[in-house]
Amino acid sequence: MTESAKKYSYFLGCLTPNRYPGIEKATLEVLRRFDIELVDMKGASCCPAPGVFGSFDLNTWMTVAARNLTIAEENGADIITNCNGCYGSLQETNHLMHGNKEKRQYVNEKLAKIGRTYKGTQTVYHVVEVLRDVITIKGIKDAVVQPLTGIKVGIHYGCHFLKPSKVRGQGSSEAPTVLEDIVRAIGAEPVEYRDKLMCCGAGGGVRAAFKDVSLDFTKTKVENMLAVGADCVTTPCAFCHFEFDVGQDEINKAQGTNLQLPVVFITQLVALAIGIGPEEIGLFDQTTQVKTFLDKIGKA
């Protein structure tokens, strides 16, 4: 890396390293192409999950998240993550700790028992923010060597990237545009579909407690994307990626359907357009089939 290279602490979370190392590889390779270095967060734990954990015990949730933030502080580098849930927990804890002295005091009293102190010196970013604000849409477009011309992409934002909108700061949570801008930059076409901003079905403990309800959400979203001719679904969240990938297989086995909408993470999609092969980014290691998608862009 050059002396001027931008450096981030890379928070992997749970699903990325355990289920989808291809997402990690795609993120590393894409950012490396733009002279951005990702530093390991040694000793990082689960974020922890924002919906369920935070709802039951806000103070413990904040303490665990703040411990992760102190690792980034030790690295001297802001956090980047590729999971909406991780982003939600870490970014919101940062926000709460900066704005609530009592919460900060409580958390630091707990962290002191393990020799840590939250200082609040680092910022939490989603990889999408880095693509948009650091690399820039023009920078992505200029780096494309194989535009994904003719590919129709169903975009799924997920919940925690956009909401609560005043905390996330991504603009309108009802009419977001950043993923559409990235998809167009790589030559593909974002498609509009019914209930586009609906949850994938996995969040808030729904998948764990009411799997049939979770899969109903997933099926509805996939069918709505297929109805408008989507060649793949892309998302900025490893958990949403998991739900669409594994969920389609579960629906097919339970209901005798044949849903086969390829699931391609946003950094995997960018990777393909800037000349990184599908084997390098784990596309063949997923549950849903990607061959027809890759055939269409000449990457099979």
Verify that 225 and 164 share a domain, yes or no.
yes
Which of the four pLDDT bands, split at 50, 70 and 90, describes residue 1?
Answer: very low
pLDDT for 80 beyond 80: yes
The string of pLDDT tens digits covering residues 183-234 is 999 999 999 999 999 999 888 778 877 888 999 999 999 999 999 999 999 9
Q: At 77, which CATH number?
A: 1.20.1050.140
Is the Cβ–Cβ distance between 108 and 156 less than 8 Å?
no
Average pLDDT of 119-143? Answer: 97
80 lies in the same domain as 200:
no
Token pair in block for residue 205: 């403990």
The answer on 261 and 184 residing in a single domain is yes
User: Which DSSP helix (H) or strand (E) runs through 52?
Assistant: helix 52-56
Give yes or no: residues 257 and 277 share one domain.
yes
Q: Does residue 185 sit in the same domain as residue 85?
A: no
Q: What are phi and psi of 155, to 5 degrees?
A: -95, 130
Contact 76, 37 (CB under 8 A): no
List the structure tokens of 207.
């998948």
Q: To the nearest whole percent, how much of the chain has pLDDT over 90? A: 81
Q: Are residues 284 and 175 in the same domain?
A: yes
Same domain, 161 and 292: yes
Question: Between the CA of residue 175 and those of 25, 56, 123, 296, what are the distances in Å?
Answer: 30, 31, 25, 29
Domain end among 57, 90, 125: 125
**Residue with token string 């990777």:** 271
E strands, the chain, where?
6-11, 36-40, 79-81, 124-126, 152-155, 189-191, 232-234
Residue with tokens 């002396």: 3
Residue 55 belongs to some domain of the structure:
yes
Domain that holds residue 68: 6-125
Domain stop point among 100, 125, 150? 125
CA distance 188 to 91: 30
- Dist. CA 141–CA 13, nearest whole Å: 29
